[in-house]
Structure 1
């Protein structure tokens, strides 16, 4: 199966969606799932049937490195 950006998140077979333990609940969490072939999909927990964004493992690794380096901290101000 090919996974594309914007596909309905609930159409990803076998997806096990997880969220950070830092999430406070209330339906405002980003959830992730691994995909066959190493890609990663993200969805908004407020809309579990809505679109999934699909990223390569390399894209996710670059984003996580940026988060760890505090490159996005200004967005939470």
Structure 2
């Protein structure tokens, strides 16, 4: 699936640092969600289907990606 991201309204968390090392998100057509690196706005972006986005954000909330060091 090819999605035109040129008109996407990208935003980042209000908790983000001013250094620009953040992840940006955009709500896209057909309830898809775009994610990109704020340091490289013209670079590649991930696009999540609605259910996949819900699964991904749920895993973050549950701590599934926390690394044990």
What's the TM-score once normalised by structure 2's chain length? Answer: 0.86
How far the C-alpha of 1:27 sits from its partner, in A, is 1.8
Which of the residues 13, 16, 28 maps onto 2:21? 28
Task: List alignment gaps of at least 5 residues for structure 2.
Answer: none
Q: How many residue pairs get matched?
A: 69
User: Once superposed, what is the RMSD of the aligned Cα atoms?
Assistant: 1.9
How far the C-alpha of 1:71 sits from its partner, in A, is 1.0
Which of the residues 22, 31, 53 maps onto 2:46? 53
Partner of 1:62: 55
Partner of 1:74: 67
Provide the secondary structure at the position in 1 that maps to 2:7.
coil
Q: What per-residue deviation string (whole Å, max 9, x for no partner) do you get for residues 15-73 of structure 1?
A: 11011111112121000001110001111000011111111011110011111111112
